[in-house]
Amino acid sequence: MEIVRFNEFCKILNTDYNRLNSNLYRFNFALKSFNNSPYECGCGKTHYLNEHHTEMRWHGKPLPIVGNIEEMIIQDCKTDCSFINYVKNKGFYFYKYKTIYSAKLPKSYIDSNFGNTDLTSKDEIKKKYKDIAKFYNNYKFYEYYKKGSKKLIISSQIQKQFIGIINLDKDLENLSNNLSNEPYRVLLVGIITFKFMSVKQMNRVHKDMTKIYDIGKVLKFEKKLMIALENLLDGNLGDFENF
């Protein structure tokens, strides 16, 4: 770990005070999965990553398949620590963060809002997570073709579920907008971490959605549904089946 001045810290990491202090990364459910991993801090103490007392100021892109967050800028808000740390994951199966740079925050920064997480919003987000999980958990797997024929059946139940898919995309989009534009994948990892749904169920649902998407491409399903499916099955985030 290298202790540097705050200005230097910002320069090396190509950031600035305003960006670090914006609300964008204030709260991140991914922290829950970090499971109290320790990290060294410039203040001389070892802190532990935890959703309740770690302030996330920035994080790198999550890894495509597993959703691991490999680098972040964090601060401990349990102790009276005034250092900010840039940490990188060195673990493979488990998170094991190594502090690369640490900097003391200038006093004027500490006196402002730095280090203040709004706890009520956490409960609100949790509630939204539960609602999203509910859709996945109640998802029905239909036969889209009549047995032994190529005739498509789109019953009223199936139509209802299609509307549900469009709404799911909307819900995830809203949540993402509130959480620093987190990719859906990261939000879903959060939902799984809280055990609101299982990885298996998520994969089953996404597999079925892929099926719908393929049929829809041939038969030209409603654009709204196709866009929702594209967002939910975002190919840029890797193959969901390998999750």
Is the CB of 39 or the CB of 240 nearer to Zn ion?
39
User: How many other C-beta atoms are found inside a 10 Å radius of the C-beta of residue 195?
Assistant: 8
| Lateral strand order in the sheet of 97-104 | 2-4, 97-104, 83-89, 71-76, 54-59
Cβ contacts of 138-143, under 8 Å, gap ≥ 24 = 139/201, 139/204, 139/205, 139/208, 141/204, 141/208
Is the CB of 36 or the CB of 167 nearer to Zn ion?
36
Q: Which residues pair with 54 in a beta bridge?
A: 76
Cβ 34 to Zn ion shortest distance, Å: 16
Residues that bind Zn ion (CB under 5 A): 41, 43, 45, 81, 83
Cβ 46 to Zn ion shortest distance, Å: 9
Is the CB of 41 or the CB of 132 nearer to Zn ion?
41
Is the CB of 84 or the CB of 191 nearer to Zn ion?
84
Q: Determine the Cα–Cα distance for residues 102 and 40; give it in Å rounded to an integer.
A: 9
Q: Determine the Cα–Cα distance for residues 117 and 224; give it in Å rounded to an integer.
A: 36
Cβ 45 to Zn ion shortest distance, Å: 5
164, 156 Cβ separation under 8 angstroms = no
Cβ 119 to Zn ion shortest distance, Å: 21
Cβ 43 to Zn ion shortest distance, Å: 3
Cβ 168 to Zn ion shortest distance, Å: 40
Is the CB of 106 or the CB of 238 nearer to Zn ion?
106
Q: What are 185's two structure tokens?
A: 């994948």
Q: How far is CA 133 from CA 142, 168, 195, 197, 201, in A?
A: 19, 10, 9, 6, 10
Nearest to 45 by CA among 8, 16, 78: 78
User: How many other C-beta atoms are found inside a 10 Å radius of the C-beta of residue 191?
Assistant: 22
Is the CB of 43 or the CB of 166 nearer to Zn ion?
43
